[in-house]
Amino acid sequence: MLIAAEVFVLAMLLPVALEQLRTTPALFWLHSLPSTVAIFGAYMFLFIARGRRTVIAATVLQIVLFGLLYSSEGLTSGAIERAYGY
């Protein structure tokens, strides 16, 4: 269900991602795409996890990943925008 929701969000935000790729390609390639791949990878890790410890590790990975990505949203994208002059 989480993977289906993530695919739905990606499909909804596709026009935004294409616009970002057209206007600020460095921000897309250095921030948006890697964070999307990391979130999707964490969902897949949770999906294939079998043991109790593995499921706990996958859940902790997702919590840390979401915390880092969403708490530092302005920091990472702002630094990329300043470095590339956007």
Q: Once rounded to an integer, what is the mean pLDDT over residues 5-10? A: 84
Q: Report which residue type is found at 76.
A: T
Q: Where are the domains of the chain?
A: 2-84
pLDDT computed for residue 22 by the predictor: 95
pTM comes to: 0.76
Indicate the DSSP class of residue 50: -
Q: Once rounded to an integer, what is the mean pLDDT over residues 65-83? A: 81
Euclidean distance between CA atoms 63 and 74, whole angstroms: 19
* pLDDT tens digit sequence for 41-61: 998 998 899 999 999 999 999
